[in-house]
Amino acid sequence: MRELILGGTRSGKSALAEELALASGLAVTYLATAEAGDAEMRERIRHHRERRPPQWGVAEVGCDLAGELVKRAAVDHCLLVDCLTLWLTRLLIDPDPGRLARESEALLRVLPGLPGRIIMVSNETGLGVVPLGEISRRFCDESGRLHQQLAKVCDRVVLTVAGLPQVLKGERIK
């Protein structure tokens, strides 16, 4: 099962992903993509840590998300990736201009063949005004493209608004 959970800031997307991972009954590994670069981000990370069950494994993921997924995916395991947009941001600022395309292609190539359950969380940024800055527009464009491609290979796609999951593709949430 491949799932993509989208939503805006504080929409409830991470909480939903955590609920689904817990309800799966599988061993869970949380693949964290955030870096604690400032006090506000450290607080966000702390908040996420406190919500997670203590028995969950945690791995900090760099740019090689596809490699981490291949290494950790197993039939009796659930991998929760939170969040793709922070991963994408790392790739956008990488000094190698081709890395974003290579890493995105690798993710899309390996994802369909992975065993177990994969839940990916990402920010839906394409619902507002087109940003003024070039890097902000590129971020919105790249995340939109990635979401479209992931939606094609995922079994379920959910948009979360105000804590309410709206299933866009696949089986409804029980």
Q: Which residue has the tokens 């805006």?
A: 8
In contact, 35 and 41? CB cutoff 8 Å: yes
In contact, 117 and 79? CB cutoff 8 Å: yes
Told to judge if 48 belongs to the known catalytic residues of this protein, a careful annotator would answer yes
96 is in an annotated binding site: no
- Say how far apart CA 11 and CA 3 lie, in whole Å: 17
67 is in an annotated binding site: no
Question: CB atoms < 10 A from the CB of 114, how many?
Answer: 18
124 is in an annotated binding site: no
42 is in an annotated binding site: no
50 is in an annotated binding site: yes
155 is in an annotated binding site: no
The catalytically annotated residue of 47, 48, 77, 147 is 48
Give the residue numbers marked as catalytic: 48
Residues of the binding site for GTP? 7-14, 32-34, 49-52, 60, 82
Residues of the binding site? 7-14, 32-34, 49-52, 60, 82
